[in-house]
Amino acid sequence: MRRRLIMLAVITTFVGTVLLAVPLALYGRHAYLEEADQVAMSRAHLFRSVLSECDSHEEFEVFEGLREDKTDGTEAAAFLRPGKVVGANLPWTAAVDRAFEGRASVETIGADEAAFTPATTADGRRAVVAVKVDTSPQWASIHRLWAASGVVVLVLPLIAGLLTDRLGRTIVEPIDRLVGAAEQLKSGRLSTRVAPGGPAETRRLGEAFNALADRIEDLIVAEREAVADMSHRLRTPVTALMLQAESLKDPVESSRMLDTTRRLRQQISFLIEHARKPADERQRVALADLAAAVTERVDFWSPLAEEQNRRCNLLVTGQEHQVRACPIELTAAIDVLVENIFAHTPEGTDMRVAVQSGLPDGAVLVVEDDGPGLGDVDVIARGTSTRGSSGLGLDIVRQLAERSGGSMTAGHCASGGARIEVRMGGLSPAGARSSVA
């Protein structure tokens, strides 16, 4: 922005100076040469008086009178018919013929100015007096004027640019600081503030930004505490579930229930810790093995699938399945996708889970079932559901995929059932230098 202001000031000043300097230079040239024309014409009238007192046969006297007057850089000559020139060696031009017709004029001869005026000798013969004036002093003054105008044309835009730069700093620098603070606030640094400065308008803008940042920080802190408190309240019923699981007489069932409640308690602890972390710490890169996580969760859900007479096929292809995701969040997302099948398809509905290596990095998770399929609504949209649920599950999965640099799509498989494809981003070369949680 400051560069644009400087360029605008320089261009505007340059154009204005040129528009003023060019007419001034032309007028100066005209004024100095007009002065030379007046000198030439006054000399011509003087010599015309001298010639009017000379007989046309007294050529030597006329010549002597004209030749002796070479002061002030002037040269004079008298033209007599037919084709006779007395005095300085001046050319016979069309101006001489016009003067014989009674019309005085001024003509440029080389770099000099010459005045031609009609005259009459003492014996009544017509003649023409010509006086040439050396205009080198005038041209020297013209060149000095042009040089001064050129210097002004060059220097004034530079001065205007410097003044605009100094003035622009007082406006642009506070705005630049404000933009930088906004970028830091966008990245999650809620403690970012800006020192108001510059004109009154930018100071008010800085104060408004600080007030907005304070409000955002207060709201986010309150939200974190609310989430942490809510998650902490869930620990009591989870502890009760663990006690009930331990009291089961069937060791296998007791172990299974304890494992489930431990995972639930782990999820609650993760939510509490995650809510209390600053935003920049929550955005640190974490790595997880998608294939290992999917295999572990499919094994967990397999007993329930057998009870409901569901066939669950797991297919893992490729070698590298590292994705950018917190292992706990990844496990929760996989449970959402599998649990949806159990919740929204009838018993006996088969399912298929596939893990593939992604290109150029990351991995792809595909979950399909042979159920009735998805409705016409956008099931990925947050809070959208037609089956009595909160509609948040698939949106949680989508957000996890997008945070990793991937995406999520929902559609139909070949059997007409639902098909969810989750593309998880991996640790790119640029991200490999980031800290790994």
DSSP string, 307-370: HTT--EEEEE-SS--EEES-HHHHHHHHHHHHHHHHHHS-TT--EEEEEEE-SSSSEEEEEEES
What CATH number does the domain containing 118 carry? 3.30.450.20
Q: Are residue 202 and residue 125 in the same domain, yes or no?
A: no
Q: Are residue 236 and residue 114 in the same domain, yes or no?
A: no
Q: Are residue 295 and residue 424 in the same domain, yes or no?
A: yes
pLDDT at 432 exceeding the cut of 60: no
pLDDT at 227 exceeding the cut of 90: no
pLDDT of residue 388: 47
CB 83 within 8 A of CB 94: no
Mean pLDDT on 350-363: 87
Number of domains in the chain: 3
Instruction: Report the distance separating Cα 96 and Cα 86, nearest Å.
Output: 13
Q: Return the higher-pLDDT residue of 286 and 354.
A: 354
Kindly state the percentage of the chain with pLDDT values over 70: 78
pLDDT at 192 exceeding the cut of 80: yes
In a domain, 165, yes or no: no
Domain that holds residue 347: 284-433
Q: How confident is the model at residue 351 (pLDDT cuts 50, 70, 90)?
A: very high
User: pLDDT tens across 137-170, in order?
Assistant: 888 888 898 898 889 888 988 888 888 887 777 7
Q: What does DSSP assign to residue 432?
A: G
Q: Are residue 60 and residue 113 in the same domain, yes or no?
A: yes
Q: What does DSSP assign to residue 37?
A: H
pLDDT of residue 390: 44
Looking at this protein, which amino acid is placed at residue 196? P
Q: What does pTM read for this prediction?
A: 0.47
Q: Are residue 104 and residue 135 in the same domain, yes or no?
A: yes
Q: Are residue 362 and residue 373 in the same domain, yes or no?
A: yes
pLDDT of residue 4: 77
CB 261 within 8 A of CB 267: no
pLDDT of residue 206: 87
Give the angle subtended at the CA of 83 by the CAs of 63 and 56, to the nearest 5°.
45
CB 332 within 8 A of CB 292: no
CB 346 within 8 A of CB 411: no
**For residue 107, how many C-alpha atoms fall within 13 Å in the half-sphere facing its CB?**
18
Mean pLDDT on 415-429: 83
